[in-house]
Amino acid sequence: MESFLNSPEIIIPLAGILMVIFIVGIVSMRKMRERELQAHQELRIREMEHERKLKEMEIEKAKLELERAKAGKN
């Protein structure tokens, strides 16, 4: 085991392979995080649009009720 750890013929290529694996892993995690953040942002935008539409519908409903009340008085 000691000769294995002291052998540069094995350690250098192994270290190179491990370095590549770590770099690929870090890049993959970053891309995955960016996609996750983008998905959250898109969901938030949809939620805000939905809330806006609901408020517009409530305003429209209030206008119709007001018109009905006015028409009922006449």
Q: How far apart are CA 49 and CA 71, in angstroms?
A: 33
- Output DSSP code: residue 6: T
Number of domains in the chain: 1
Give the range of the structural domain holding residue 46, as residue numbers without chain letter: 2-73
Question: How does DSSP classify residue 33?
Answer: H
Give tens-digit pLDDT for 3-56.
Answer: 666 777 888 889 999 999 999 999 999 999 999 999 999 999 999 999 999 999
pLDDT-derived band of residue 73, with 50, 70 and 90 as boundaries?
Answer: confident
C-alpha to C-alpha distance for 25 and 15, rounded to whole angstroms: 15
